Structure 1
Amino acid sequence: MEKPGDLPRRRAGKTKVDTETGCRHVSCEGKTQLVHCVVFRLSVGEIPEGFQVRHADPGGRHFTLGCDPDHLEAVPKKEALRRRDWESARARRTHCPHGHAYTPENSYPDPRGFRQCRTCHSERVGSPRVPRAV
């Protein structure tokens, strides 16, 4: 018989951390799921259609690494997107969607201020000349 104290050790071996976002994933019910969503479903109930589980408490603090059910809430997807800190999410990215590193030599800000990959830009336009940062 398994002891409750063994659960953290056993679960740690089955939990994977996304290095880009810091989110933890776990295999549950035969598929990979975000840990905070599994905890919400087990502790609070099903996630309503069109809602996402967010890490927050009534005091407005944001807990991205914890899975305390008291710090989780289901909010409509539009609200979850509105609350997201897009600037810090982009800053944590180390590679473009095609896997090229965002180094000072291989990236530049586009007119909107978003970081772009020089390698991808060169492949798209077929030219080695890419706009340089001002």
Structure 2
Amino acid sequence: MATVETEARAKGIAYDGGLTCSIGVSSLDNAIPWYESVLGMTLLYRRDDIAWCELSTGVDKVNVGLSARESVTQGGGATLTFGVKDINAAKAALEAGGVRLDGDIMEISGMVKLLTFYDPDGNALMFYQDLAIA
């Protein structure tokens, strides 16, 4: 019986085992202390230049990313962001499958490459490639 990992590789997507759940917030200054004190998460880093931070959940390679936004939709809106080993190969696999992309791969120098795409219902999902991994 094939595993999920084997099936994904057969489609050209090699996951790296990481998952970042991206959540829009109105203020990093207010959200970070709440996630730390209420949910027991630990701030990994904060980048004010891109209005972003990530917190550790305590589950290996599963983080919560907070993105400061001018308008936050109430009632949800988290974006599942899956770590992949080769974002260019993952993009090619999505394109081959006719998946709608939200632009091209975006790179934050020295940190990460990101690609947003949509499921059939229009829900945004993302792939990330960690540039710190050799």
User: Which structure has more RCO (C-alpha within 8 Å, separation ≥ 6)?
Assistant: 2
Higher strand proportion (structure 1 or 2): 2
Fold agreement, TM-score > 0.5 = no
Larger Rg: 1
Give the alignment's TM-score, normalised by structure 1: 0.20
Give the alignment's TM-score, normalised by structure 2: 0.20
